[in-house]
Amino acid sequence: MDNRSTARTFKPSILADGFLLAGSAAVALLIFWVLYPVLVPATDAPSSRSSSSSFSAYVVKPPPPPRVSCSSPATTPPSPNPAGGCTNLRHDPPSPTFYDDPALTYTVGGPVADWDEKRRAWFDQHPSFQPGAAERVLMLSGSQPKRCRHPAGDHFLLRAVKNKVDYCRLHGIDFFYNTALLHPRMFSFWAKIPVVRAAMVAHPETEWIWWVDSDAIVTDMEFSLPLHKYAAHNLVVHGWPHLVYEKKSWTSLNAGVFLIRNCQWSMDFLDVWARMGPHSPEYERWGQTLRSEFKDKGLPESDDQSGLVYLLRQKDRWADKIYLESDYYFQGYWVEIVGGLDNATRRYLEMERRAPELRRRRAEKVTEAYGAAREERLEAEGWRAGRDGKRRPFVTHFTGCQPCSGERNQAYAEEECWAGMERALNFADDQVLRSYGFVHPDLMSSADVRPLPYDFPAAKA
Ligand SMILES: *[C@@H]1O[C@H](CO)[C@@H](O)[C@H](O)[C@H]1NC(C)=O
């Protein structure tokens, strides 16, 4: 009762402030729109770019409004993850950029010099992309051009893509899913390197490229990447230093999920990494080198993951910019995760019964606000992440299940893989469906949902 009356006395003043802000924003916008056609010569407007006469530059017809995804930057507090911020998608000035240099290529091995300066110059020409640039993330994923051999493979891929799209929508992250083999000889696990390289050129506006294998599922839809931790690094992978440097194991890290900064260092790194791949004359030699370096490596051919561990072990050259993350499941091995998902659901619901601020209904768009509130609560209650922690695993990786080809690692029974993927997908989907008022009554029943009662989970369903 007490809380309620405080809330009641506070609300009107907050609302009044809100109206004031909204009011001044509206006035500012109105002035802007009234003056816009007068202030801006039509030649600057993309739709009139072909107009050659300087007289027709001042046409009466107003140019189309810039397609910005927020109304007024001045009155909007900066979003912690502003990938979709106030960017102008209809502005690309005619002055030359690196795109106009025929020597600059999208392919690995192609030369790119001074990439950082080139990106900076691009930002100068596209200032609307500047705010929040340091935190901008593009998620990349992909799968083979052909249909999956396993009959359920494409259905799994569809749901795994949906899962990634969901996560990206909630966090203002851009998403690119590739189904073309960009280099004919860079097949299977090597295929991602040409995609990352091309995406760096295609997306100068993004600071981080986040590669996520098609068989990895985001299983904590609220969690935000702690990018501040990686400020001094250019590549983030899930791994353990003692396994890299002491045990010399090829599984000391996982190359299926990584964050790579869009910078010259990464361009150089990708070239060196790709040189270990099947399109390179050094491929066979690398196979021998990696096999003798890593005693636990069974595969005779050079593979991307062993190659990455090898490069990491060249301490002087690359290691100081590579962050080995193991504080949370930046990616986690599904076998140690899926059995605990039901308990995780239960624990989180119990927390929400204690915390009315977390169970409040809200618009999906503001999920990050509740993620931040959750984070505070998790810290206050001392919930740790990772294997022994009580938090939801961030990314669950179905390593070895090969849902598309069906050529799974024989260490797992087929039903284990499929049941695990079903659980993980529905576990994630429940966090999304929550904002739409529904939940799966059982993690194994993808087709079944039931409506959530008001004030769930405090109210008994
Ligand atoms: C889930 O929680 C129950 C009850 O606390 C416990 O007995 C069980 O071992 C847990 N299961 C897993 C897989 O952690």
CATH number at residue 175: 3.90.550
Question: What is the pLDDT at residue 410?
Answer: 85
Q: How far is CA 315 from the centre of its chain?
A: 28
Residue 112 maps to a domain:
yes
Give 38-70 pLDDT, tens digit per residue. 333 333 333 333 333 333 334 445 545 554 444
Instruction: Provide the Cα torsion 206, 208, 209, 213; round to 10°.
Output: -140
Last residue of a domain, one of 322, 357, 373: 322
Question: What is the pLDDT at residue 109?
Answer: 87
Give 304-359 pLDDT, tens digit per residue. 999 999 999 988 899 999 999 999 999 999 999 999 999 999 999 999 999 999 99
Radius of gyration (C-alpha) of the chain in whole angstroms: 25
**What percent of the chain shows pLDDT beyond 70?**
81
Q: Which atom of ligand 1 is nearest to the CA of 342?
A: 1
Q: State whether 117 and 214 are in the same domain.
A: yes
Residue 85 maps to a domain:
no
Last residue of a domain, one of 322, 349, 380: 322
Q: State whether 426 and 303 are in the same domain.
A: no
Q: State whether 149 and 230 are in the same domain.
A: yes
Question: What is the pLDDT at residue 71?
Answer: 42
Question: What is the pLDDT at residue 408?
Answer: 84
Q: Which atom of ligand 1 is nearest to the CA of 343?
A: 1
Q: Which token pair is 161?
A: 């893509």
Q: State whether 337 and 444 are in the same domain.
A: yes
Question: What is the pLDDT at residue 50?
Answer: 36
For ligand 1, the distance from its centroid to the CA atom of residue 345, given in whole angstroms, is: 12
Three-state DSSP state, 101: coil
For ligand 1, the distance from its centroid to the CA atom of residue 391, given in whole angstroms, is: 14
Question: What is the pLDDT at residue 354?
Answer: 94
**What percent of the chain shows pLDDT beyond 90?**
75
pLDDT > 50? residue 10: no
Three-state DSSP state, 414: helix
Q: State whether 207 and 227 are in the same domain.
A: yes
pTM of the model: 0.83
What domain count does the chain have? 2
Question: What is the pLDDT at residue 61?
Answer: 52
Give the whole-angstrom CA distance, residue 370 versus residue 295: 46
**Which residue has the CA at smallest separation from atom 6 of ligand 1?**
343
**Which residue has the CA at smallest separation from atom 7 of ligand 1?**
343
* Whole-number average pLDDT of the chain: 85
Q: State whether 302 and 408 are in the same domain.
A: no
Question: What is the pLDDT at residue 86?
Answer: 81
Question: What is the pLDDT at residue 181?
Answer: 93
**Which residue has the CA at smallest separation from atom 1 of ligand 1?**
343
Number of other CB atoms surrounding residue 70 within 10 Å:
13
For ligand 1, the distance from its centroid to the CA atom of residue 299, given in whole angstroms, is: 37
Q: State whether 303 and 371 are in the same domain.
A: no
For ligand 1, the distance from its centroid to the CA atom of residue 343, given in whole angstroms, is: 6
Q: State whether 291 and 379 are in the same domain.
A: no
pLDDT > 70? residue 4: no
Q: State whether 290 and 369 are in the same domain.
A: no
**Which residue has the CA at smallest separation from atom 12 of ligand 1?**
340
Give the whole-angstrom CA distance, residue 418 versus residue 334: 11
Question: What is the pLDDT at residue 60?
Answer: 47
Q: State whether 346 and 262 are in the same domain.
A: no
Q: What is the mean pLDDT of residues 89-103?
A: 95
Question: What is the pLDDT at residue 65?
Answer: 53
For ligand 1, the distance from its centroid to the CA atom of residue 338, given in whole angstroms, is: 12
Q: State whether 247 and 367 are in the same domain.
A: no
Q: What is the mean pLDDT of residues 443-456?
A: 95
Give 73-86 pLDDT, tens digit per residue. 444 444 444 444 58
397-411 burial: b if 16+ Cβ within 10 Å, else e:
bbbbbbbbeeebeee
Q: 176 lies in which domain range?
A: 98-322
Question: What is the pLDDT at residue 41?
Answer: 35
pLDDT > 70? residue 3: no
Check if the beta carbon of residue 308 is closer than 8 Å to that of residue 255.
yes
Q: What is the mean pLDDT of residues 207-221?
A: 98
Q: What is the mean pLDDT of residues 263-273?
A: 97
Last residue of a domain, one of 302, 322, 342: 322
Question: What is the pLDDT at residue 34?
Answer: 39
DSSP for 226-263, please give it.
Answer: -GGGGTT-SEEEEE-HHIIIII--TTSEEEEEEEEESS
Q: State whether 314 and 340 are in the same domain.
A: no
Give the whole-angstrom CA distance, residue 356 versus residue 25: 32
Residue 117 maps to a domain:
yes
Q: What is the mean pLDDT of residues 359-371?
A: 97
Mutate to test the pocket of ligand 1, among 341, 342, 343, 345 (most ligand atoms within 8 A of CB): 343
DSSP for 338-359, please give it.
Answer: GGGHHHHHHHHHHHHHH-HHHH
Residues whose beta carbon lies within 6 Å of some atom of ligand 1: 339-340, 343
